[in-house]
Amino acid sequence: MKEGRKLKNVDPINSVGPYIMPTRAGASNYFTATLDIEKTEEYIKKKRSEGMKGLGMMHVVLAGYVRAIATHPGANRFIRGQKLYARNGIDMCITIKKSMKLNAPESCLKIPAHSDDTINEVYHSVNETVCANKGENTASDTDSAAKILKFIPGILLKFTVWLLKLLDYFNLVPGFLIKLSPFHGSMYITNLGSLGINPVFHHLYDFGNLPLFCAIGGKRTEYRLDENGNTVKKRLLDMTVVCDERICDGHYYASAFKMWKKNIENPELLDAPPKRIVID
């Protein structure tokens, strides 16, 4: 399984950066965004009435990300063996709670997507994956693999993880393990609004190649002054992002994130395929 291809024409700073900052945690940048979701909420209500049962903010955020990657594929790169790669596809990782009970088990899932996906394709992909793994007696392939590792004695498990990291460095991890791994993918997202708390800055993992971790909080109302000095009610959503600064420069990241924000705040853009797709 080839996750991506090594980039050859790379700027000097991007070539040297992974050696100066060898770990993903040490190369992390943090930022917050506040989204105006007034039109987004109206859009969700409209789509639900048209038959998209259960459509929620998570679907829109994920679809907005997929659309942003269609025009900004550099934000979907990854570091392996201290070299820069362009990722072939889009894999979004999420964690779901089997039920809203304190001790209910969690499950890690991977949502595949394509650059030309609309909100409709993302909606169905998310729902099918979640529904197949929602029951408390079901286990995703990722969970099953983790259970196997759980039974390895401590000292052997430490060696196993070291060996996996070594294989990962040299791009030798078997494809079936990469397919199962929640540490290999385009991004990881968590919806902390569903738990009633504000979004945290979640760390990146030094195993695997995830370059971005996103957290969204709960929807909230705030009163602000408009340009005429009138008080207006705003519906807002806070989002935090932790990203690997080594995969692209700040200007490129900013452009990609502004596109992501635009897609969430104007979700009707996601109804049709993108007008253009950029190949990294």
d(CA 142, CA 116): 27
pTM: 0.93
> Tens of pLDDT along 139-164?
667 777 777 888 888 899 999 999 99
Q: What's the fold here for domain 4-270?
A: Chloramphenicol Acetyltransferase (3.30.559)
Span 168-176, mean pLDDT? 92
For the stretch 12-60, pLDDT in tens is 888 999 999 999 999 999 999 999 999 999 999 999 999 999 999 999 9
Under the phi-then-psi rule, with left for phi > 0, alpha for psi from -120 to 50, and beta for the rest, what region is 82?
Answer: left
pLDDT for res 269: 98
pLDDT above 70 coverage of the chain, percent: 96
pLDDT of residue 107: 82
Return d(Cα 245, Cα 108) in angstroms, integer. Answer: 25
Q: Confidence class of residue 129 from pLDDT cuts 50, 70 and 90?
A: very high
The tens digit of pLDDT for each residue in 224-254 reads: 888 888 999 999 999 999 999 999 999 999 9
User: Would you say 185 and 110 are in contact if contact means Cβ atoms under 8 Å apart?
Assistant: yes
Question: Does 136 have pLDDT greater than 90?
Answer: no
Query: Which pLDDT belongs to residue 150?
Result: 82
Listed by start position, the domains of the chain span: 4-270
Q: Rounded mean pLDDT of 67-78?
A: 98
- Is 133:107 a contact under the CB 8 Å cutoff? yes
Task: Give the span between the Cα atoms of 210 and 96, in whole angstroms.
Answer: 18
